[in-house]
Chain A
Amino acid sequence: GESVGLHLPTLSVQEGDNSIINCAYSNSASDYFIWYKQESGKGPQFIIDIRSNMDKRQGQRVTVLLNKTVKHLSLQIAATQPGDSAVYFCAESAGSARQLTFGSGTQLTVLP
């Protein structure tokens, strides 16, 4: 078996508070970004996406911010709920490439 695993960043928030999950990307050519949510035992689920010609996009209770200058992406979740507890991944793609490259993920835990 594996003795060393990825050290997932963790974020614990109180129910009802806002959550901010951050992601740094390295490919300056990346022009499309997605946030995924993965609950235990399930596949990643699409949350929200943003193209590089935008710096902010809002969905239902979620907002994605993109700062291309410092190659940083964030996901804001408003009024965090217990059902938001999961691992959150950012993913990026560049140009005509169809494939996404995923970050290592952040474990969000919502405390009652």
Chain B
Amino acid sequence: DAGVIQSPRHEVTEMGQEVTLRCKPISGHNSLFWYRQTMMRGLELLIYFNNNVPIDDSGMPEDRFSAKMPNASFSTLKIQPSEPRDSAVYFCASSLAGTGYGYTFGSGTRLTVV
């Protein structure tokens, strides 16, 4: 099992550009979560999907952020336009309902917006 796979590992972009972060959950997992980690705010839940359907996006900071899960094996988090305050590490995690809520996290994408 390759675990949760995120890409890219690092992204440096200029303010105003569009950024797309990608996640492949563990095969068979039916819940997917996007978290953001910063020194200021720690780990914050942005959005989560259950069976590819967005369930709670109340953590998405603003309309510049959007997330999709077109199928069970792929999700994207898009920021358009990006701003320096979006700089953070973005984690994707997946889990299987009924086995407890323990997530498996990916290695994260470190985003720097200059």
Contacts and interface: CB of A to CB of B under 8 A. Distances in A.
A38 B100 CA distance: 20
A103 B87 CA distance: 21
Contact of B42 (A32, A43, A98, A102): A102
Q: Chain A at the B interface: mostly helix, strand, loop or mixed?
A: loop
Nearest to A92: B101
Contact of B102 (A43, A49, A102): A49
Contacts of B43: 44, 89, 102
B38 interface: yes
Interface stretch (A2-10, A13-21, A59-67, A73-81): A2-10
Contacts of B101: 32, 34, 49, 93, 98, 100
B42 A99 contact: no
Contacts of A5: 39-40
Counting contact residues on chain B (CB < 8 A from A), the size range is 20 to 34
Contacts of A1: 84, 87
Contacts of B56: 99
Contacts of B45: 99-101
A38 B43 CA distance: 11
B28 to A, nearest CB: 16
Contacts of B42: 6, 102-105
B108 A43 contact: yes
B40 to A, nearest CB: 5
B82 interface: no
B91 to A, nearest CB: 5
Contacts of A93: 101
A2 B38 contact: yes
A-B pairs, 3 with minimum CB distance: A43-B105, A5-B39, A102-B43
Interface of A: 1-2, 4-6, 32, 34, 36, 41-46, 49, 89, 93, 98-105
17 contacts: A1-B84, A2-B39, A5-B40, A34-B101, A43-B93, A43-B106, A43-B107, A43-B108, A49-B100, A98-B50, A98-B95, A99-B45, A99-B48, A99-B56, A100-B101, A101-B45, A102-B42
